[in-house]
Structure 1
Amino acid sequence: MLSVQTSVFTLLCEELTAVKKEESTLEGTSVTLSYKYKNAAKGNDYFFWYRQFPGKPPEFLISHTGTSLKLQDPVPGFSFKVNTSTELTIRELTLADTALYYCARLYKNLKTDMGLLFKEGGSGFQSTASYQMDSVHSCLIRVSVVTAANETLWEDSHEQMIHVNH
């Protein structure tokens, strides 16, 4: 279970908008999940990517700043890019990449002092950060994998889907 603890924060999907609603690709290829945001990213913007498998707690993938400074090493097979959007690339897709992908944006504001805690229950991963910030913005990306026989293994209608065929 992912828990976010802070004195005051707001979750707004309006801050992050999926560039494409649906992707279709073959197993073994790459796909890029991309979100645009209202304002240009700055060095005091922090992005956190997670994925969640059905019935499991969220898994941390990568974190970076708005100027592409890597905060933690990414999980193998994942990379990121920041321009006028934040992008997560998944290389060599397999059916096991079926998951819900989260992107959270943290904006640092020197006027307010608050702290965040990202914790995955039962996984042993805990990432703590104490920043001066005004809000957290998060959206969800649902990734769906469809076999060559058009059998959907797991799907839900959210902002962005990927179909992987083999």
Structure 2
Amino acid sequence: VRVLFFCTGNSFGDTIQPWFPEKHDSDGENVTLSCNYSLTSGTNANIQWYRQYPGAKPEFLLLVTEYFSKSEPELRLYSEATKEIKRVDLVIFSAAVSDSALYYCALRPTVTGNSINTVQNPSILSRTKSSETA
């Protein structure tokens, strides 16, 4: 498995960025994608995860807050934010070649009024069968 992250910017000083640029895992292992975030507005973070397969539109996977984790057993996904260190993790359990896609973590702080800001950072998860990994 090879994971790549790309940063696309920030909004009103709130940012979310990948925790590591590249990662390699074998087929069938759990894969963790992590992003660090920073909030200047003093609000609580709502973090969304999306997945995009080649030639397809991004699909929403999970919403996690700094106070509530989220699990999607049928998708083999779990996400949790750690407020103290401002990091959010997405775990793909028993990752398979079919999980190869572009993954996005998006930060949407909870704010008053009608203002909603989203910052996205895509990550590419490329899987190869364990017999093909070096």
**Native 8 Å contact 2:49 2:61 kept in 1:** yes
Structure 2 counterpart of 1:78: 77
Root-mean-square deviation (CA, aligned residues, Å) is 2.7
Stretches (4+) displaced over 3 A: 146-150
1:109 counterpart (105, 108, 111): 111
Q: What SS is found at the alignment partner of 2:88? A: strand
Structure 2 counterpart of 1:92: 94
Measured in 1, the distance between the counterparts of 2:90 and 2:96 equals: 16
Measured in 2, the distance between the counterparts of 1:76 and 1:55 equals: 20
Which whole-Å deviations, capped at 9, do the CAs of 1:29-72 have from their partners, x for residues lacking one?
101000001249x87321111100001121221112221254xx
Measured in 1, the distance between the counterparts of 2:31 and 2:125 equals: 11
Structure 2 counterpart of 1:4: none
Amino acid at match of 1:67: Y
Provide the identity percentage. 25
Task: State the number of aligned residues.
Answer: 119
Deviation for aligned residue 1:76: 2.5
1:138 counterpart (101, 120, 125): 120
Measured in 1, the distance between the counterparts of 2:69 and 2:126 equals: 30
Structure 1 counterpart of 2:38: 38
Deviation for aligned residue 1:93: 0.9
> What TM-score, normalized by structure 2, do the two folds share?
0.75
Measured in 1, the distance between the counterparts of 2:111 and 2:88 equals: 20
Is residue 27 of structure 1 aligned with residue 9 of structure 2? Answer: no
Change (3 A) 1:136 1:37: same
Amino acid at match of 1:99: A
Gaps of 5+ in 1: 1-10, 114-132, 151-164
> What TM-score, normalized by structure 1, do the two folds share?
0.62
Any residues of structure 2 matched to 1:150-165 within 5 Å, and which? 165=133
Q: What SS is found at the alignment partner of 1:26? A: coil
Larger Rg: 1
Structure 1 counterpart of 2:52: 52
